[in-house]
Amino acid sequence: MAIFRLATVLATLALAGCFGGTTSNIDIHDNGVFIPTTRIAVDFNERPGPPSRIHTSHAVELGVTGATGKDDLQVSAGQPPIVFGGENFVTPQEVKAEFDFRFVELAYRYRYVSERRGLGFEALVGAAYARLGLRLIGATRTAAEKLDGGGIVVGLGTMLRLWPSGSLQLRGGGFASSTSEGVSSVGRYEVVFEQALGSHAALRAGWAGYDIKSRREDDGFSNSNRSPIRVRVNGPTLGLELMF
């Protein structure tokens, strides 16, 4: 009997944790976004051959990227309100969301490439800054906020040389900050084809995505009463990388 009561209490606490939120989440998803990128990489060690061709190296990498998009949020009757930008978007209603995302990182990158097989991998660690501008347009009110956050970024990747100046590359990574009201975390991935343009530049084209979050009410260490935010972005990416 005591075991049954304990199980009942634990189940009640779990359900309270799942459904205890006082606001509705802001969950935005846009699969038709163009994602431009710019990178500058500077090798620590000298090597024979053009820097623009994939090779084993220690390097510092600066990256800048971003995306702009929109989505429609359906807030059904019976759900808690969306609390954002000092406004309460009560249910039921359709809310239009517009966002603008920017991401800047400076990281140490180690890359190993087998000269015989053309297969390589890389690891990155460094610092980054993320900024998200978000605007919600409801039936009777509009609200906007600018969120940001600075923190640590890490990444892992792999690559395959297709011919001397061309390669297929896959990279995934994550960003985390200490803020619950700004940009709390960013997950990302990219699958690109890279073609060298001369000795110090390369064109990158493929597909990429970001998963941007602001914890807000979901943060157990925060007293926030504002709606948690999640923005998921996927789309074609095109970029230029300069290498020295």
**Helices (H) then strands (E): counts for the chain:** 1, 12
Predicted confidence band at 224 (pLDDT cuts at 50, 70, 90)? confident
Q: What is the pLDDT of residue 156?
A: 98
Q: What is the pLDDT of residue 7?
A: 43
Q: How far apart are CA 135 and CA 226, in angstroms?
A: 15
Q: What is the dihedral of CA 226, 232, 238, 239, to 10 degrees?
A: 40
Predicted confidence band at 45 (pLDDT cuts at 50, 70, 90)? confident
Q: What is the pLDDT of residue 31?
A: 94
**What mean pLDDT comes out for the span 116-131?**
97
Q: Check: CB of residue 169 under 8 Å from CB of residue 161.
A: no
Kind plus residue range of the DSSP H or E element containing 149? strand 142-163
Torsion-angle region of 216 (φ positive above 0: left; ψ -120 to 50: alpha; else: beta): left
Q: What is the pLDDT of residue 21?
A: 66
Note the pLDDT tens digit of each residue in 71-97: 999 888 889 999 999 999 998 999 999
Kind plus residue range of the DSSP H or E element containing 4? helix 2-19
Note the pLDDT tens digit of each residue in 173-209: 999 999 999 999 999 999 999 999 999 999 999 999 9
Q: How far apart are CA 54 and CA 119, in angstroms?
A: 10
Q: Residue 114 pLDDT > 50, yes or no?
A: yes
Q: How far apart are CA 165 and CA 97, in angstroms?
A: 42
Provide the 3-class DSSP secondary structure of residue 62.
strand
Where do the domains of the chain lie, and which CATH numbers do they carry?
A: 28-243 (2.40.128)
Kind plus residue range of the DSSP H or E element containing 49? none
Note the pLDDT tens digit of each residue in 132-155: 999 999 989 999 999 999 999 999
Q: Residue 4 pLDDT > 70, yes or no?
A: no
Amino acid occupying residue 66: G
Q: Check: CB of residue 97 under 8 Å from CB of residue 71.
A: yes
Q: Which residue has the higher pLDDT, 161 or 75?
A: 161
Q: Give the closest residue to 218 by CA, choosing from 1, 10, 27.
A: 27
